[in-house]
Structure 1
Amino acid sequence: MPASGLFISFEGIDGAGKSTHIAALADAFRAAGRSVVLTREPGGTPLAEKLRELVLNDAMDPLSEALLMFAARRDHLQQVIEPALERGDVVLCDRFTDATFAYQGSGRGFDVGVLRQLESWVQARPDSTQLRQPDLTVWFDLPPAVAAQRLASARVPDRFESQPVAFFERVAAGYAARLNESPDRFARIASDQTKASVWQQLQQTVEQRGWLRAAGAPA
């Protein structure tokens, strides 16, 4: 009988260091003998990746943006996340629904009530009234000004990354609101520290839930 599936999402603005630590945690789970699915949102399936390109690069109003995000999420859940959890895999996802509430809801100022309705439609489990949510959401909390410095020479920014610092301050407030709504699901990690310190916090967070023994720091 396979081990219970495990769903962990990673949240935070670009520049917070999510990618490095997602990869390191994936390696740690694999070393412990778990099968790992490493994925992202928007994206994760051929259809969702096409929608990702539209969302990140094409101008559109907030409602269109939100609808595309949830359309991509629906396909991602059906094609990747739910099958992996049924197999007993560990799913590590770079962003999930909390990002939509933070970016489209708080950042763009879009109606949170509409987002909640979309969330209830898209993430309803077929066998219950509960929503599919991560077992753990790790929020890499980084001051927007620090993130901007980290990204300044990294790459050409997409239409989200090119937003002013005030936008990302609202995004951070949106993440904080989601944490306050679901404190047991969230782990907030201050990511304006050394890579080793951030990894230590992440490792302790996962260990405390009994999901993984101590693992080495990312290179």
Structure 2
Amino acid sequence: MNTYPGILIAIDGIDGAGKTTQVNLLKAALESAGETVVVSKEPTDGEWGQKLRDSALVGRLPRDEELELFILDRQDHLKKKIIPALEAGHIVILDRYFYSTIAYQGILVESYESIVGRIRADIVEPDAAFWLDLAADLAVSRVTARDGKPNLFERQEDLAKAGEIFRAIAAADSVLQRVDATMSPPLLYQTMITALMAGPIKAKRCGKSYGCDDPMYCMPRITESCDWWSISKKLAAEQVSA
């Protein structure tokens, strides 16, 4: 967990796993509960990210050049958007983060571990990260139905290899939580928002500096001065009304 007052959430996985849908559901719910939410994606629409997006359509770049563009794009993203939002206390939700870079660039080298140090250098650690786990054949079916055809980053064999790297990362990284992307979008959202409320949102929004001990007899809760309790009540009311 990083030391900024804001909360950084990464939603990751192979193409077609439903990341964007979940980002939008979380954004809507947290904003309705009173939080300021900043949504972004990687690659970005900036100078370096656009070169990567173009290459997905017209031809992949040489391996080292492609990796360098991902790193440059992320550093620019952190400096201009992510860190300022976290410093302001906002919730930042990313549609892909460095986990995707490791997974997708990892299939191009003999061992993905050989590039992890370079990719993870000078990043901001997420407060929560979710890997939406989906089989490659189902992912390609979803992408084809959505876009008409996969791009050059979405070949089934590559997605299968990337999925295996995601699995290995999740086994070694306690922050990256696997969730079953075959679940319905509402159930998947509920799994993630429950984990967020019990984890980083509670840790950073609890009215007591040392953490919540007994909600029933908690003075910040009783006096309505606990942000975490307020968010919890609003989300619960939203579920009832839905």
Following superposition, the deviation at residue 115 of structure 1 comes to 2.3
Question: Structure 1 residues 148, 119: closer, same or farther in 2, change over 3 A?
Answer: closer
Q: Is the 8 A contact 2:11 2:23 kept in 1?
A: yes
Q: Pick from 173, 179, 191: which aligns with 2:170?
A: 179
4+ runs deviating over 3 angstroms: 110-114, 214-217
1:152-171 pair list within 5 angstroms: 152-155=144-147, 156-161=149-154, 163=155, 165-171=156-162
Aligned residue number for residue 85 of structure 1? 86
Aligned residue number for residue 133 of structure 1? 125
Could you tell me which runs of 5 or more consecutive residues in structure 2 were left unpaired when the two chains were aligned.
202-230
Following superposition, the deviation at residue 56 of structure 1 comes to 2.3
Q: Is the 8 A contact 2:49 2:69 kept in 1?
A: no
Counterparts of 2:183 and 2:62 in 1: how far apart (Å)? 36
- Opposite residue 28 of structure 1, the aligned amino acid is A
Counterparts of 1:38 and 1:25 in 2: how far apart (Å)? 10
Following superposition, the deviation at residue 65 of structure 1 comes to 1.1
Q: Percent identity?
A: 26
- Opposite residue 56 of structure 1, the aligned amino acid is A
Counterparts of 1:179 and 1:117 in 2: how far apart (Å)? 16
Aligned residue number for residue 127 of structure 1? none
SS at match of 1:172: helix
Aligned residue number for residue 31 of structure 1? 32
- Opposite residue 176 of structure 2, the aligned amino acid is F
Aligned residue number for residue 197 of structure 2? 207
- Opposite residue 209 of structure 1, the aligned amino acid is G
Counterparts of 1:177 and 1:187 in 2: how far apart (Å)? 12
- Opposite residue 66 of structure 1, the aligned amino acid is L
Question: Which structure shows the bigger proportion of residues in helix conformation?
Answer: 2
Following superposition, the deviation at residue 145 of structure 1 comes to 1.2
Q: How does the TM-score come out when normalised to structure 2?
A: 0.76
SS at match of 1:187: strand
Could you tell me which runs of 5 or more consecutive residues in structure 1 were left unpaired when the two chains were aligned.
124-131
Q: Pick from 153, 163, 185: which aligns with 1:195?
A: 185
Counterparts of 2:51 and 2:126 in 1: how far apart (Å)? 22
- Opposite residue 195 of structure 2, the aligned amino acid is T
1:65-144 pair list within 5 angstroms: 65-105=66-106, 107-109=107-109, 112=112, 114-123=114-123, 132-144=124-136
Counterparts of 1:168 and 1:83 in 2: how far apart (Å)? 33
Say which one has the larger Rg. Answer: 2
Q: Is the 8 A contact 1:48 1:76 kept in 2?
A: no
Following superposition, the deviation at residue 82 of structure 1 comes to 0.7
